[in-house]
Structure 1
Amino acid sequence: MMHRLLRTSIAALSTTFIASSAAIAADLEEIRARGRLIVAINDDARPLAFRDEGGELRGLEIDVARHLAETLIGDRQAVEFLNVSNRERLGAVLEGDADVAIARLSATPPRSRLVAFSNYYYLDGTDFVTRNTEIAAVSDLRRARIAVLENSDTIAIVRYRFPNADLVGVSSYQAAFDLLESEAADAFAGDRSILTGWVQEHPEYRRLDAQLSVAALCVAMPKGLQHARLHQSVNQAIARWQSSEWLRDTTRRWGLL
């Protein structure tokens, strides 16, 4: 009984939060009248979104944001980027600080209760990175020491595939890097997109394409009927990019294929 009441209270609270947030968020007409698209990003996620040596924003998600601004407003430069942390990504959309979030967000059932998700623009997943010369393929990880982020879904994924591996918990990607550098771990399991950037920055490492899981990265948008035209326009744009192969070519250019 107590659990049922708790679930009901959470559902009611979420509904109230969504309703109040949807009233704040700009609809497509307001975005066009403003003349710019406000996009929440995470600029520390190479090669999805990062700053180059000159401080310019680059990456797949930056290209997607600019292409979306061109579709919605007619100007690929009409984008205002709002840098947020991982914890702030959904809040930026819910509170109306950003029109959309393009920030390595995968569509999950809990998140879909709060925001609307577009069609996917990239399929992420769990892979491994290593510089150990004795590890040539994923099969070599069966009894390896594998670093994993603490409290992450990756732990269950890796444990299921490699029940005899020695999993070592780390608090961050930097902690994982330090562990591999000291040879206290043989490999690190993480998101394919981030590990691609890892190898780009540190070419002495290799990414092992394990394809243990799939996570669809999507554009997050405010929920509500008043945003139906925005949802439709974004989905139609992504469908065109996929059929024209612009999305595939851009993804390949950033090393993500």
Structure 2
Amino acid sequence: MLAACATAAPAGCALGSAEQHSILHKHSLVIGVKADQPGLGLLKDGRYQGFDVDVATYVAGKLGVPPSRITFKTTPSSVREKALESGSVDMVVATYSITPARKTRITFAGPYYVAHQDTLIRSSDRSITGVHDLAKKRICAVNGSYSSKRITEERGIAAVPVPVGTYSACIPLLTAGKVDAVSTDDLILAGFAAGHPDLHLIGAPFTDEKYGIGLRKGDLAGCETVNRILTRMYQDGSAGRFLNHWFADTGARLTTSVPQFEGCS
């Protein structure tokens, strides 16, 4: 029956709470995205735009929900799980790295892209060429993001975290010399660097960041369907077009092959 739900999503397939709230039964969708990340999720002139927004629109369309029935909602890193758990959004497509801790609270489809953590510095700074050079350097630590902890906790590098609310807030701190580096996913950093010639992406990635589509916990049928849609997105060339549209001129190393999925749980 779950397989039938994943294909046709008839109302009679609702076997429990997770299935009743599945994205497969939605006539319209509220999708959580970022609003301050150029190239990924940016609210500009009253409209959301970027790679994540394109992916979300593509997935929704294949689920039978046209753009006219999509509502995008700004969803910062610090509230992504809460937004899904409360039902204020139906899915989240917001540079949402799949982690074991997050998987205890929500279900992830994908990944729809595998980014790599890199580091953004001032172009005039010659002291940072890799992650280990961040020792004793001031780095942005964004609420709800794990990126700074990958440096200080996972690698034991004695960087000095400077707490901020969003990655967009890091950029003026970096240009003003109040932090020495911003380290997070290369696509996020490439989007910011494109508008700041005085900033430099060092090109020394040190992690895999698997961007997942967040769904309500237990929506396995929805997850499996979204994974099939993501496979098609790469196979029909849409993913490559989206990536090149937003990042072709940024210097980011782009991958246009289907990512290996995590599996729905």
Same fold? TM cut 0.5: yes
Match of 1:222 among 210, 216, 229: 216
Residues 1:233 and 1:207: Cα distance change in structure 2 (over 3 Å): same
Match of 2:56 among 56, 65, 84: 65
The residue number in structure 2 matching 1:22 is: 18
Shift of 1:217: 0.6
Quick one: distance in 1 between partners of 2:181 and 2:240? 29
Quick one: distance in 2 between partners of 1:41 and 1:247? 17
Quick one: distance in 1 between partners of 2:136 and 2:116? 20
CA RMSD of aligned residues (A): 3.1
Matching residue's letter, 2:60: A
Residues 1:134 and 1:99: Cα distance change in structure 2 (over 3 Å): closer
The residue number in structure 2 matching 1:12 is: none
The DSSP-based 3-state class of the residue aligned with 2:137 is: strand
Quick one: distance in 1 between partners of 2:177 and 2:79? 34
Shift of 1:189: 2.3
Q: After the TM superposition, which residues 148-159 of structure 1 pair with which residues of structure 2 at under 5 Å, given as runs?
A: 148-150=139-141, 153-155=146-148, 157-158=150-151
Q: Tell me if the contact between 2:35 and 2:42 (Cα under 8 Å) persists in the aligned partners.
A: yes
The TM-score normalised by the length of structure 2 is 0.73
Match of 2:236 among 228, 244, 257: 244
Of stretches 234-243 and 91-100 in structure 1, the one that deviates more from structure 2 is 91-100
Matched, 1:91 2:82: yes
The residue number in structure 1 matching 2:258 is: none
- The structure whose Rg is larger is 1
Shift of 1:149: 3.0
- The CA deviation string for residues 38-83 of structure 1, in whole angstroms up to 9 with x for no partner, is 212221222211122x222100111011111210115244311122
Quick one: distance in 2 between partners of 1:68 and 1:201? 29
- The CA deviation string for residues 157-197 of structure 1, in whole angstroms up to 9 with x for no partner, is 4467796xx73321224664455334465533233232122
Matching residue's letter, 2:237: E
Matched, 1:194 2:184: no
Q: Tell me if the contact between 2:22 and 2:222 (Cα under 8 Å) persists in the aligned partners.
A: no
Matched, 1:43 2:31: no
Question: Which structure's residues are more often helix, by fraction?
Answer: 1
Give the unaligned 5+ runs of structure 1. Answer: 1-19
Residues 1:188 and 1:236: Cα distance change in structure 2 (over 3 Å): same
Quick one: distance in 1 between partners of 2:212 and 2:238? 16
Q: Tell me if the contact between 1:146 and 1:189 (Cα under 8 Å) persists in the aligned partners.
A: no
Q: Report percent identity of matched pairs.
A: 24
The TM-score normalised by the length of structure 1 is 0.75
Shift of 1:22: 3.3
The residue number in structure 2 matching 1:113 is: 104
